[in-house]
Structure 1
Amino acid sequence: MASLSIDRRDRSHRNDLRAFTVGVEEEFVLIDPATGRPCLTNTTVAAAGTDSALQLELSQCQIETCTPVCASIEAVHREVRRARVTIVDAAARSGSLPLAVGVPIWGPPSGSITDTPRYQRIAEHFKALADQVTCGCHVHVCVPDRDLAVQVSNHLRRWLPALLALTANSPIAEGIDTGHASWRHTVWARWPSSGPPPYFRSAAHYDDIVAGLAEDGQILDPAMVYWDVRLSAHLPTIEIRISDVPATVVETTLLASLVRALVITSVAAIGRGHLADPITRTHLRSACRYAARNGLSSTRFPTTIAGRRDTRHALAQLLCHVRSALEESGDYEFTRDALAAVLTSGNGAVRQRSALRAGGPANVFAVLARLTVEGCDIGNSQRSR
């Protein structure tokens, strides 16, 4: 896997790019290192954390890390790595192990909902729909003008299938290959507010749609807007949520770099008066389902961006599309090399399937445990727990 190598030349002329700060949230499954079964210990693990970076999630076997606001991709890499060290340390104190995986290899018992008022309210309202465990990666990029942010969302929609194919990391559930590189995407799609966002005319249009979802009982609060791109309910950011949690720190950093560059490129296009293509949600849902099923192995890519060529061509188009923004920020070489490394070595889905063929579910756990802390400074005692 590529290591982080970012241009450290003077960037004093790039002040305008510093406004596009980034934050990353990663969700993890907590397992028993001896059995590989989920551990329902997220409250204990969160309490053992050294700072507020650890957050509870819907299932008791899930926990989330949150980076601080980062002004550069180099800082993102450092903070994601630090957050993974933090969660491994905290989990070790409760005898559990965090895995960066989109769905657990073995699911927890039914009804393992985290005991907080909000999560219990969600479980009561949505019943069996809430009885799922999925782990994603959410990238926030600062866009404080909401009308601009919804136009950025319109521009990002066409790239969602490519980002999903790149980060797919959940092919195995209940110990078997599901036939989907991202089973998480398929499971998550059951939520009524999930999937690609609508094409918005304005921030007011966005708010009207959200209000309608709430009125119809499809969401209980704005935080339940689960679109693949959404405006944050409490931060001046646009949040891209399409991805499985990537297997490694470098892959998460790669995702953050591409997303930030996409936002910067979109803002520039909007400034030139370019409107995004109004691709239908039906078309985007179909393309995302295809990406979820096939991941990096796709021999064609059913979206307008790639002309039905393969996924690798779609990702090459994505890199070309954002190259100017990456070069201006000094992140192009890292992003190019990290993308090439994933295409050569495989993403999490490719590695999980290889591990399953080689040694069954136990080998998948071992590989995921290693990838989760790849490049992190983790002591040998914690690695072997």
Structure 2
Amino acid sequence: MEQASAKRVWCPTVGVEEEFLLVDPVTGVPVNRADDVLAVAREQFGLELEHELTGAQVEINTSVCRDVEQVRSELCETRRAVAQAARSAGCRAIAVGAPPLGHATGEITDSLRYRRIAREFGALAEQQLICGCHVHVAVPDRETAVQVCNHVRPWLPVLAAVTANSPFSDGKDTGFASWRSTVWSRWPVSGPPPFFRSWRHYEEVCDTLIVAGTALDRAMVYWDVRPATELPTVEVRIADVAVTVDDAALLAALVRALVAKAVVDVEGGVPAEPIPQETLRQACWGAANEGLRGSTLDVSSGESRPVRQQLSDLVRRLTPVFEANGDLTAVQRGLRLLDGDGGGADRQRRAFRAGQVEPLLSLLDVDSADRSEARGTTAC
């Protein structure tokens, strides 16, 4: 994988979706208050939140943003409104990949689509009380989108490890940095995608999945990177929702630059590295288990290497793109936070070391970015 060149850079728009968990403000146990939170957000803040699969989750979306600084600004503002709406509705909104406390099943949201998913997939749907972060980056067309996904695939394990933010379940340490990834992997169509020859090949595989009943439609093709179903974007879906806005901005910058470089490579005839799907799956499992401060398989070299070294390699390759598209500041800010405080899983383990609930919930509050100055980063 060659280093990016600043001579020709695709500077695409970017958007971020984040899912948050609603919990009891004292016990941290998930509560089904999504309807109330959505109503308060609409009435008091003019903010249209989205339902998710269960009633203990809400989703936010940025607009189509010109760069990552705009993403960061919008996330700061929206997270603050969500936190206030949740408090007004008698609960707390936290940014965590999986419920750290209490039960891990949710009440299915009352909509035609979600009821159908519940009928077809049973307990699997009820146990998806997990929260991720999805990054959309614009691409010129669908054929390019498929080839861009091929170029992004090798870096999925690094993105997974850097964003791991769910070490606990039912008050116990799972031993994983991202328990959400393990829960999510139960879906029949999840994890790293195959290597696709063309848009037609992608469509043929999706058709097979739908005929087989493992996906109801293309929206349920839950691979970690995919062409978006409705937007002219590539969507990277592998990440836990981030603890802070700066963590989310770092992810958005990495994904935006990966896609930007891939578009140029595709146009220039540079082939993607055809990493076997099973190799990627093993590396992603290791990334979810180890997190930022561990090691996982480097799929290009075939050797296990520290995640932080692999992240440094990625940043070095993409630095010309960051400089050209204006995202270098966001990357540097995010890396300082990771190097100072560790990843989300590391921070959670420190906060919950004595088994006290409040320090953990305070860390995970979705408006915690407002308190980031105390941690040496830039407040919203």
Please say whether Structure 1 and Structure 2 have the same fold, judged by a TM-score greater than 0.5: yes
Q: Secondary structure at the match of 1:101?
A: coil
The corresponding residue for 1:228 is: 224
Contact persistence 1:296–1:343 (CA under 8 A): no
Matched, 1:350 2:346: yes
Deviation for aligned residue 1:303: 2.2
State whether structure 2 residue 99 is matched by structure 1 residue 104: yes
The 3 A distance-change label for structure 1 pair 71 and 344 is same
- Whether the aligned pair in 2 keeps the contact of 1:156 and 1:263 (CA below 8 Å) is yes
* DSSP 3-state at the match of 2:347: helix
SS of alignment partner, residue 113 of structure 2: helix
Instruction: Tell me the distance in 1 between the aligned counterparts of 2:284 and 2:104.
Output: 29
Deviation at 1:348, TM superposition (A): 1.0
Partners in 1 of 2:302 and 2:324 — Cα distance?
Answer: 25
Pair 1:269–1:109, CA change in 2 (3 A): closer
Letter in 2 for 1:162: V
Contact 1:319 1:336 in 2 (8 A): no
Structure 1 residues 216 and 52: alpha-carbon distance in aligned structure 2, compared to 1, 3 A threshold: farther
1-structure distance, mates of 2:281, 2:368: 33
The structural deviation recorded for 1:375 is 3.0
**Secondary structure at the residue paired with 1:322?**
helix
Helix, strand or coil at the partner of 1:154: helix
Listed as ranges, the gaps of 5+ residues in structure 2 are 1-5, 373-380
1:89 Cα offset (Å) = 2.2
Alignment correspondent of 1:125: 120
Alignment equivalent of 1:140, drawn from 127, 136, 160: 136
Question: Does the 8 A contact of 1:53 with 1:66 survive in 2?
Answer: no
Could you say if the C-alpha distance between residues 107 and 190 of structure 1 is closer, same or farther in structure 2, counting changes exceeding 3 Å? farther
Pairwise CA distance, 1:366: 2.6
Percent of aligned pairs with the same amino acid: 45
2:317 corresponds to which of 309, 314, 321: 321
Contact 1:301–1:314 (CA under 8 A) maintained in structure 2: no
- In the superposition, relative to structure 1, how do residues 363 and 374 fare at CA in structure 2: closer, same or farther (>3 Å)? closer
C-alpha separation between the residues in 2 aligned to 1:222 and 1:274?
28
Distance in 2, matches of 1:120 and 1:144, equals 35
Query: Moved runs in structure 1, 4+ residues, more than 6 A?
Result: 13-16
* TM-score, with structure 1 as normaliser: 0.90
Q: Does residue 285 of the first structure (1) align with residue 278 of the second (2)?
A: no
Aligned residue number for residue 376 of structure 2: none
Note the C-alpha offset of 1:283: 0.3
State whether structure 2 residue 88 is matched by structure 1 residue 74: no
1:272 is aligned to 2:264: no
Distance in 1, matches of 2:139 and 2:87, equals 37
Which ranges in structure 1 are unaligned for 5 or more consecutive residues? 1-12, 379-385
Could you report, residue by residue, the CA deviation over 1:259-303 in whole angstroms, capped at 9, with x for unpaired residues? 000001111111221111111110000000000000012145442
TM-score (norm 2): 0.91
**1:21 paired residue among 6, 10, 13:** 13
Q: Say yes or no: does 1:161 pair with 2:157.
A: yes
Count of matched residue positions in the alignment of Structure 1 and Structure 2: 363
List aligned pairs for 1:354-373, cutoff 5 A: 354-369=350-365, 372-373=366-367
**CA contact under 8 A between 1:170 and 1:183: conserved in structure 2?**
yes
